[in-house]
Amino acid sequence: MTDSKEQLDVDEDFTAAETDDAEPVVEVAKTNLSKRRTIDNLLEERRLQKHLADYDFDL
């Protein structure tokens, strides 16, 4: 152990890199949710169109 006090270089960018890595995960979740909603809407539209096609208009 030395008696002299040395200054340590602190890498402040390290914490910023961690926060940058966390953001894309949120974006991926939002994108996946958006894609899922789009797929659900398309499936619902197909189901309704099929139901309409099967409907007997000659009452």
Mean pLDDT within 10-32 = 62
Judge whether residue 21 has pLDDT over 80: no
Q: Looking at per-residue confidence, does 13 or 35 come out higher?
A: 35
Please list, residue by residue across 36-50, b when 16 or more beta carbons sit within 10 angstroms of its beta carbon and e when fewer do: eeeeeeeeeeeeeee
Identify the band that residue 5 occupies on the pLDDT scale cut at 50, 70 and 90.
low
Token pair recorded at residue 36: 């899922």
Q: Which one is predicted more confidently, 21 or 45?
A: 45
* The model's pTM: 0.47
Say if residue 15's pLDDT is above 70: no
